[in-house]
Structure 1
Amino acid sequence: MKAAIWGLGGLGLGVGLMYWSDPRSGRWRRSHLQGRAVHAAHEAGSAVDVVRRDLAQRSRGLFFESVSRFRSEPVDDVTLTERVRAALGRVCSHPGSVKVSARDGIVTLEGSILLEELKHAVPYLGRVRGVRGMDNRLLPFAQSGRQSELQGGIARRRPFGSKHWSPSSRFFGALGGLSLASWALQQRGVLGSLLGLGGAVLGIRALSNMELRRLTGIGVGPRAITLHKDITVNAPVEEVFAFWDAMQNFPRFMTHVDEVRVDERGRSYWKVRGPAGLHFEWEAVVTRRVPNQLLAWKSVKGTSVENSGVIHFEPTAKGGTRVDIRLSYNPPAGAIGHAFARLLGVDPKRQMDDDLLRFKSLLERGKATGHETVTRESLAPNQSGRPSLMH
C-alpha cells in the first residue's frame, strides 16, 4: 500500500514537473503562477484585516448581548413588536404576509406562511429578547400555490444553514479544517482517513465560501458555476441575433469549441475541449426563442457537463446592440473541478471574454481569428435558412 502511494506521488510529481517546465508554455505558466502568488499575498493581507474587524465587531456585539440578558429591563409592546418583525425577516421569505402584535410580552402572529419556514420560524422568534410567550395563529401552506401573499419573495435559510459564511466563521472553519487534516496525518486506518477528508471538506468550504453542493456539483443541476457578461456591438440587433441563432458557426471563432452540429429539430450537439486535452460532449435544446430579443438553451439530462444560458438582445440609441449573456454550468466535480481547471491555465471566464471580443470584431470589422481566420461571408445560414449575418 505504501509503495503504491509513493508511486502515485512520484507520478504526480513527474506530471507537475513536465507541466511547469514545458519548453513551449512552461515559461508563461511559471510567470502566470508567480503573478497569481503575488496577487494571493495581497488578497491574504486584505482578508486578515476583514477578519480582524469582523471579530472585533462580533465580540463587541456578543458582549453587549450577554450583558443585556442579565438585566431585567422592561420592554414596551411597540419595541418588542419591532424586534420580532426584524427577526422575522431573517427566517421568513414573505414577512409582509405575517402580522405581528404584542401585549404584555405575549407576541401574536397572524397571517400566512410556508410550512417549511413555520417549523423553525416560531421557535426562533420565541428566543427574541423580551418575548414571554408566543400565540401562533399562522396558516401554514406546503406550497405558495394560489396564495398571492406567498408569491415571489427571497428564500430564507436557517440561521445555521447560511449559504454564505461570515469572515469570522470562515476563519475558524479554515482553522478547524487545517487542524483536523494535520491531526489525521498522524493517525492510521479508517478513522484517520475520515478525519482527513472531513478536515479537507471543511477547509475548502470555508476558503471558497460556497455550499458543498456547488463545490461537488451534486444536486445543483447546471448552476454550480455562473458567468455573466455584457458587451455592446456596433451592429443592428437583427444582425446580432441572427449570428447567435446559427450555433454551428461557434467553432469558427470560439477556440475551445471543436464542433457544434444542429439537426432539423433544432437540437445541438457540442464537442468542447477542456483542461489537460480532455474533450466533453453534450446535447442541448433551445428552451425559448424570441426573435431579436431573447435566446435561451439548456443541456439535456444525463450529459457530462450540464449547462444552461440565456442571452438578451437590446438595441442601443446609436443603432448598436447590447448583448447580455448569463451562462451556468456544472463541470465534473463542480466548483472543485472548475478551480482545478483554472490551476491548469483553463479559465472559462477569460475564454468567454476572448470569444466575445472575437465576436465583436467579426461583426464590426468583418473578420476574426479562432481556430482559423473567419469572415462574414464564410459563415453558415442560421436555423431559419437566412444568412447568419445580414449584409
Structure 2
Amino acid sequence: MSTVKKAVEVEVPLHRAYNQWTQFEEFPKFMEGVDEVTQLDDRHNHWTTSIGGVRREFDTEIVDQLPDDRITWRTVGGDTSQRGSVRFERVDDMHTKVELTMDVEPTGMAERGADALGLIDRRVSGDLRRFKDYVESGAESGGWRGRIRPEDPGMSPL
C-alpha cells in the first residue's frame, strides 16, 4: 500500500473550502480521471474513474466527518482499495490549508507501474492545485455540515 500526503493553501475562508469539498458530485470538475461521483446518501458515494485507460467503479464510505476539520473515507465495494482523509486548517480569515492523505493499494500491473513512477503522487498534487483554482474562482455549489462519527470504536481517522 502506498501513502500519499499533499497539501495546498487556498485563498478562501475555512468554511468555504470545507463546504466545497463536501460537494462530492463536483469532483470531476477538478479531479483528473474522475468521470463521475454519485452521492448515494450522507455516508456513501459511487465513483467511476478512467485512469491510464483503465475504467474502475467503486463505492466509498465516509467514516468520520467533522465540519471545518476533516472528512475520512474508505472503499467498501468495487475493484479498488483505498482510504484517506482530507483536513482543513484555518491559516487566517481568508486562507485555508487543505491536506489530503491517501493510502492506495495499486491493483494490476499498470497501476503498480504508475505508483512506482510516482504518478499517483503527481495526480494528487494536480488535483489539489485544480481544487485551489476551482474554489478560488468563486465556485461554491453548496455545503453539507453534518457530523458523521466512526461506527467502529477501533476505527481511527488517518
Same fold (TM over 0.5): yes
Q: Which residue is equivalent to 1:282?
A: 58
SS at match of 1:308: strand
The one-letter code matched in structure 2 to 1:349 is: D
Matching of residue 267 in structure 1 with residue 44 in structure 2: yes
Q: Which residue is equivalent to 1:340?
A: 113
Distance 2:133 2:25 in 1: 18
The one-letter code matched in structure 1 to 2:84 is: G
Distance 1:338 1:247 in 2: 24
Distance 2:27 2:115 in 1: 22
Residue pairs, 1:138-149, within 5 angstroms: none
Contact 1:274 1:346 in 2 (8 A): no
Q: Which residue is equivalent to 1:326?
A: 101
TM-aligned CA distance change 1:337 to 1:226, over 3 Å: farther
Instruction: Give the TM-score taking structure 2 as reference length.
Output: 0.81
Contact 2:72 2:85 in 1 (8 A): yes
Q: Which residue is equivalent to 1:351?
A: 123
Matching of residue 255 in structure 1 with residue 32 in structure 2: yes
How many pairs align? 146
Greater relative contact order: 1 or 2 (C-alpha under 8 angstroms, separation 6 or more)?
2
Q: Which residue is equivalent to 2:72?
A: 296
Matching of residue 313 in structure 1 with residue 88 in structure 2: yes
Contact 1:250 1:260 in 2 (8 A): yes
Q: Which residue is equivalent to 1:238?
A: 15
Distance 2:112 2:107 in 1: 11
Instruction: Give the TM-score taking structure 1 as reference length.
Output: 0.35
RMSD over aligned Cα atoms: 2.4
Contact 1:247 1:382 in 2 (8 A): no
Q: Quote how far apart the aligned CAs of 1:349 are.
A: 1.6
Percentage of matched positions with identical amino acids: 25
Residue pairs, 1:125-274, within 5 angstroms: 224-274=1-51
- Unpaired segments ≥5 residues, structure 1: 1-223, 367-375, 386-391
Higher helix proportion (structure 1 or 2)? 1
Distance 1:317 1:310 in 2: 22
SS at match of 2:92: coil
- Unpaired segments ≥5 residues, structure 2: 147-158
Q: Quote how far apart the aligned CAs of 1:228 are.
A: 0.4
